[in-house]
Structure 1
Amino acid sequence: MKSIVSAASHPIAGFVFVFLLVGIQPISADTQHEGSGVEPSLQAAQMLIVRDYAGYDEISLPLDPRSESRGVRSPLFEEPPQPRPPTPAILSVPELSSSLDANGKVVVAGIRFDARNELDPSSKPALDQIGALLKQRPALRLHVVVHTDNIGALASNRELSQRYAHAICVALVVDYGIARNRLTANGLGSLSPLVSNQSGRGRATNRRVELVVQ
Structure 2
Amino acid sequence: MMKTNKITQAIGALALVGIAMPAVATDQPGWYLGAGGGPARATIAKDEIIADLANSGFETSVFRFDDREFGYKIFAGYKFNQHFALEGGYFNLGEFNYTATTVPAGTKTGELDFRGWNLDLIGMYPLTERSSLFARIGAHNSKSTVDFVGTGAVNVFTPHYQKTSTHYKVGAGYQYQVNDSVALRFEVERYRMDDAVGNRGDIDLYSVNVLFRFGATSHAPAKQVPVVEEPATAAPAPAPVVVDQVRYCSELDIEFEIAKNDIQRVNREHMLVLATFLDKYPETRAVIEGHTDNVGNDADNLRLSQERAQSVVNYLTSEHDIDGDRLTAVGYGETRPVADNDTDAGKQANRRINAIIGCATDIEGLEPIPARITLAMELEFPTNGSTIDPKYHDQLGDVAEYLEAHPDLTVTLEGHTDNASPEMAQKISRERAQSVADYLVKHFTVDRSRLNVEGFGATRRNTYNVTASDRQDNRRVNIILGYPNK
TM-score in terms of structure 2 length: 0.27
Q: Deviations over 1:3-60 (max 9, x none)?
A: 689966423579xx753367xxxxxxxxxxxxxxxxxxxxxxx987734278733267
* 168, 192, 208: which one aligns with 1:52: 192
Per the TM alignment, residue 131 of structure 1 is displaced from its structure 2 partner at its CA by: 1.4
Unaligned runs of 5+ in 2: 5-38, 49-64, 71-92, 95-187, 194-198, 213-224, 230-246, 359-486
The correspondence of residues 138-153 of structure 1 with structure 2, limited to 5 A, is: 138-153=282-297
The correspondence of residues 1-214 of structure 1 with structure 2, limited to 5 A, is: 2=2, 9-12=43-46, 19-20=67-68, 50-52=190-192, 56-58=201-203, 71=210, 99=226, 104-112=248-256, 117-195=261-339, 197-214=341-358
| Equivalent residue pairs, number | 159
Distance in 2 between residues matched to 1:7 and 1:171, nearest whole Å = 64
Distance in 1 between residues matched to 2:260 and 2:291, nearest whole Å = 18
Q: Give the letter for the 2:312 counterpart.
A: I
Q: Give the letter for the 2:190 counterpart.
A: V
SS in 2 for 1:130: helix
2:290/2:309 contact within 8 Å kept? yes
Q: 1:101 to 1:60 in 2, by over 3 A?
A: closer
Pick 1 or 2: higher relative contact order, CA cutoff 8 A, min separation 6.
1
Overall identity of the aligned pairs, in %: 22
Query: Match of 1:27?
Result: none
Distance in 2 between residues matched to 1:188 and 1:49, nearest whole Å = 41
Query: Match of 2:98?
Result: none
SS in 1 for 2:293: coil
Q: Give the letter for the 2:331 counterpart.
A: G
SS in 2 for 1:57: strand
2:42/2:204 contact within 8 Å kept? no
Structure number with higher strand proportion = 2
SS in 1 for 2:287: strand
Larger Rg: 2
TM-score in terms of structure 1 length: 0.56
Q: Give the letter for the 2:309 counterpart.
A: A
Distance in 2 between residues matched to 1:123 and 1:6, nearest whole Å = 57
SS in 1 for 2:261: coil
Two-structure CA RMSD over aligned residues (Å): 4.1
Distance in 2 between residues matched to 1:21 and 1:194, nearest whole Å = 50
Q: 1:18 to 1:143 in 2, by over 3 A?
A: farther
Structure 1 window deviating more from structure 2 (197-206 vs 2-11): it is 2-11
